[in-house]
């Protein structure tokens, strides 16, 4: 198979409500949507980056430029015998993992469609439905937070994650736990804590959390390991785990007892599957994180989460939690048991609504 055409699109798709983390606020999806074509068949991928480098170093504009100038020319017209070849072809590219993942996942979709294989089945997915939760951004006050939790729990989400930062942690946790003693609850610090503030995190055991996600800096494994030794609650790493090597290092250091896997952060589906295998071998539970993806990245996440080691609910809510209208024809709906149904059609399963995609596209680059 040879890729004969690559289409890169910058989109602007407004969220239902702005999403605030310790790093910043996001009002709309600024993902790069990738379409690759070979012999009349197309595959779709997504680089789910943000406009600003608050979660990782990459941004919408760096992704677009690296894909156009560096990655697409390396991939075009190369003979591809399986999607893993993309990771091999791009192995000398440093960093830029979200940029790589958009192209890599599009090639996986194309390849699976060509072979009439479903992505979940092809990578070894075992589940027909995957348990999911909801991630709630930083709110103005506890009243708004409680009302959002209430709505999501009524909709059927069984696990709540809240974003925290110094000054917005004990108060929201107390107010949630006063109202719901035993819901599955976890927190995400998005690197906002300094090791000097470790004592507040040490006090979280009393809230009976599923995990504390990435409280310290993305380049800090040491203090995550110090924290993990001092608390019972599992530490989960997100930003720090950018490769299989980093995951192995974190496990040796006991820097976490849970890992959040996102295809974008680790440079694509293949690396995500490899990290899953490593964690499973080491009996470390994993779950699929989210980057507020459109329906394309969301379908990829659901397929990934069908692997057997994804035993914890993912940050993969139904499309309607993010967008009034998504760029796919077949949005996921939340099942009554708090799960999403894994697609079974060839590829990752998202059927792109190209007319609506055209409407929300603000920049398009075609490489032939």
The piece of 15-23, 237-245, 265-273, 352-360 that touches Mg ion (CB under 5 A) is 237-245
**Among residues 55, 168, 216, 332, which is the contact residue for ligand OSB, using CB under 6 A?**
55
Is 26 a binding residue for Mg ion by CB under 5 A? The answer is no
Is 188 a binding residue for Mg ion by CB under 5 A? The answer is yes
Assess contact for 66 and 32: CB atoms under 8 A. no
Site string for ligand OSB, 193-232 (x = CB under 6 A): ----------------------------------------
Nearer to ligand OSB, 16 or 252 (CB): 16
Site string for ligand OSB, 250-289 (x = CB under 6 A): ---------------------------------------x
Is 190 a binding residue for ligand OSB by CB under 6 A? The answer is yes
Is 293 a binding residue for Mg ion by CB under 5 A? The answer is no
Find the catalytic residue in 206, 262, 359, 364: 262
Is 315 a binding residue for ligand OSB by CB under 6 A? The answer is yes
Buried b (16+ CB within 10 A) or exposed e, 231-258: bebbbbbbbbbbebebbeebbeeebbbb
**Among residues 47, 67, 135, 225, which is the contact residue for ligand OSB, using CB under 6 A?**
135
Assess contact for 43 and 347: CB atoms under 8 A. yes
Shortest distance in whole angstroms from residue 161 CB to ligand OSB: 7
262 catalytic? Reply is yes
Assess contact for 56 and 262: CB atoms under 8 A. no
Nearer to ligand OSB, 220 or 238 (CB): 238
What residues make contact with Mg ion under the rule CB under 5 A?
188, 213, 238
């Amino acid at each position: 198979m040879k890729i004969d055409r690559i289409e890169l699109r910058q989109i602007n798709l407004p969220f239902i409500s702005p999403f605030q983390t310790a790093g910043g606020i996001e009002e709309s999806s600024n993902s790069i949507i990738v379409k690759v074509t070979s012999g009349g068949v197309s595959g779709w991928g997504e680089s789910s980056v943000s406009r600003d480098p608050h979660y990782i170093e990459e941004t919408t504009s760096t992704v677009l430029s690296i894909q156009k100038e560096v990655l697409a020319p390396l991939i075009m017209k190369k003979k591809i015998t399986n999607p893993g070849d993309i990771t091999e072809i791009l192995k000398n590219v440093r960093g830029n993992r979200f940029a790589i993942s958009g192209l890599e996942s599009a090639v996986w979709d194309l390849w699976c469609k060509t072979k009439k294989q479903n992505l979940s089945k092809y990578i070894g997915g075992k589940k027909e439905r995957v348990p999911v939760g909801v991630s709630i951004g930083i709110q103005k006050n506890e009243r708004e937070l409680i009302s959002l939790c209430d709505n999501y729990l009524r909709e059927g989400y069984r696990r709540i994650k809240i974003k925290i930062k110094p000054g917005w942690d004990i108060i929201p946790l107390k107010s949630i736990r006063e109202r719901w003693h035993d819901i599955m609850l976890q927190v995400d610090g998005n690197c906002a804590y300094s090791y000097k503030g470790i004592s507040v995190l040490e006090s979280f055991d009393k809230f009976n959390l599923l995990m504390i996600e990435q409280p310290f800096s993305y380049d800090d494994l040491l203090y995550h390991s110090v924290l993990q030794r001092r608390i019972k609650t599992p530490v989960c790493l997100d930003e720090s785990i950018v490769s299989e090597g980093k995951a192995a290092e974190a496990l040796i250091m006991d820097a976490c007892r849970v890992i959040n896997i996102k295809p974008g952060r680790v440079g694509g589906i293949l690396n995500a599957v490899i990290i899953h295998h490593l964690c499973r071998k080491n009996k470390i539970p994993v779950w699929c994180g989210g980057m507020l993806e459109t329906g394309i990245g969301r379908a990829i996440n659901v397929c990934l989460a069908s692997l057997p080691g994804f035993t914890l609910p993912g940050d993969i809510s139904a499309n309607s939690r993010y967008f009034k209208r998504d760029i796919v024809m077949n949005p996921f709906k939340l099942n009554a048991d708090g799960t999403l149904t894994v697609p079974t059609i060839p590829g990752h399963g998202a059927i792109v609504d190209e007319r609506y995609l055209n409407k929300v596209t603000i920049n398009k680059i075609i490489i032939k």
